[in-house]
């Protein structure tokens, strides 16, 4: 890249696209290519913008994202895809910067980067260090529960929750979904966690706009050895040592009124890992806390942009 890097957001009007646009518009170190409203769905206009940009961020449904990639003719253009279309594609790099110590170099050298899913980045951040450390060999069965604000469902779900209810009607409340246990993040979680079997995953939408908790009980009974909370903490502390955005929270939550707020990290690119445990019972649950629109979507995209253009990763994210 020479001069200011140029960035085009294809799908800028969507929930994730709007967040990314808001974060990038205020910056002086990049040029943002923006199409007039009437041209945003024009294939020709989009194709021209895609091939004029140094970095293109796709904030589109899966099929539209695949089609957008087919429009790339400029070999210098780097694609960051925020959809789930390429997250298990071996030709694409996984855009979780803190995944392991070599991931930054891989992302910087790649022209095709798939941004992680919100539930997936929480689950992978928990399970992958446990597999890579050797505590688990990947043959264990993992159970995952996720709680997200309704913004994770995009504009349609936001409108369902925020519309004014008719007199006498019941306001939409939270609910479990993906009841067939076949959520689209499952293949991504399995691949990037390094486990050999599909995890059993049930997500829940909460009656609030944004913020997320991802809960993973650790299957220690399947490995037949005693583990201490200190052992688990050490694995995470070493894996995420010196990371700006991933924090291991040192607390044993001993008080009866302790609580974890899914909205506590809203507006940030932070991901916090909380270890809950009963040492005597050998029961351990790790909870990832994040903003589903931050580290779970737009914030991670901007962090990747920063890495690609060679500025501090927290530029525009603090």
Q: Is 315 within the bounds of a domain?
A: no
pLDDT in tens, the chain (318 residues): 667 999 999 999 999 999 999 999 989 999 999 999 999 999 999 999 999 999 999 999 999 999 999 999 999 999 999 999 999 999 999 999 999 999 999 999 999 999 999 999 999 999 999 999 999 999 999 999 999 999 888 878 888 888 766 655 546 788 999 999 999 999 999 999 999 999 999 999 999 999 999 999 999 999 988 899 999 999 999 999 999 999 999 777 777 678 899 999 999 999 999 999 988 898 999 999 999 999 999 999 999 999 999 999 999 997
Selecting among 68, 118, 195, 275, the annotated active-site residue is 118
Q: Is the same domain home to 169 and 251?
A: yes
Count of CB atoms situated within 10 Å of the CB of 152: 25
Q: Is the same domain home to 185 and 105?
A: no
**In the chain, how many domains are there?**
2
For the question of whether the overall pTM of this predicted structure is more than 0.85, the answer is yes
Q: Is the same domain home to 73 and 218?
A: no
The CATH number of residue 186's host domain is 3.30.360.10
Provide the domain limits for residue 148.
Answer: 119-292
**Is 301 designated active site?**
no
Q: Is the same domain home to 225 and 169?
A: yes
Q: Is the same domain home to 216 and 276?
A: yes
Q: Is the same domain home to 169 and 194?
A: yes
Q: Is the same domain home to 130 and 264?
A: yes
Work out whether strand 143-149 and strand 200-206 pair parallel, antiparallel, or are unpaired.
parallel
Distance CA 286, CA 275 (A): 5
Q: Is the same domain home to 183 and 134?
A: yes
The CATH number of residue 14's host domain is 3.40.50.720
Q: Is the same domain home to 189 and 238?
A: yes
CA distances (Å), origin 167, targets 157, 159, 173: 21, 18, 16
């Amino acid at each position: 890249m020479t001069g200011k890097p140029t960035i085009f957001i294809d799908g800028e009007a969507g929930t994730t696209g709007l967040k990314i646009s808001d974060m990038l518009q205020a910056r002086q170190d990049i040029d943002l290519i923006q199409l007039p409203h009437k041209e945003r769905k024009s294939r020709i206009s989009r194709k021209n913008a895609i091939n004029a940009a140094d970095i293109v961020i796709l904030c589109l449904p899966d099929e539209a994202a695949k089609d957008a990639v087919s429009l790339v003719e400029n070999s210098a253009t780097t694609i960051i895809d925020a959809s789930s279309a390429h997250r298990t594609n071996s030709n694409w790099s996984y855009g979780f910067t803190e995944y392991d110590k070599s991931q930054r170099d891989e992302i910087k050298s790649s022209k095709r980067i798939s941004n992680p899913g919100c539930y997936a980045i929480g689950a992978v951040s928990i399970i992958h260090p446990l597999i890579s450390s050797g505590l688990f060999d990947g043959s264990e069965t993992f159970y995952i529960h996720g709680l997200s604000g309704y913004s994770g469902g995009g504009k349609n779900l936001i409108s369902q929750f925020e519309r004014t209810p008719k007199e006498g009607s019941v306001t939409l409340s939270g609910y479990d979904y993906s009841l067939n246990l076949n959520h689209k993040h499952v293949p991504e979680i399995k691949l990037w966690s390094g486990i050999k079997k599909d995890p059993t995953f049930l997500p829940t939408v909460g009656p609030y706009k944004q913020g997320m908790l991802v809960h993973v009980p650790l299957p220690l009974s399947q490995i037949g050895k005693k583990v201490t909370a200190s052992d688990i903490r050490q694995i995470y502390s070493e894996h995420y040592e010196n990371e700006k955005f991933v924090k291991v929270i040192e607390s044993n939550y001993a008080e009866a009124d302790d609580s974890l707020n899914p909205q506590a990290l809203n507006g940030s690119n932070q991901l916090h890992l909380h270890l809950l445990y009963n040492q005597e019972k050998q029961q351990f649950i790790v909870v990832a806390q994040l903003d589903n629109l931050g580290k779970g979507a737009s914030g991670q995209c901007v962090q990747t942009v920063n890495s690609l253009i060679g500025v501090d990763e927290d530029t525009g994210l603090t």
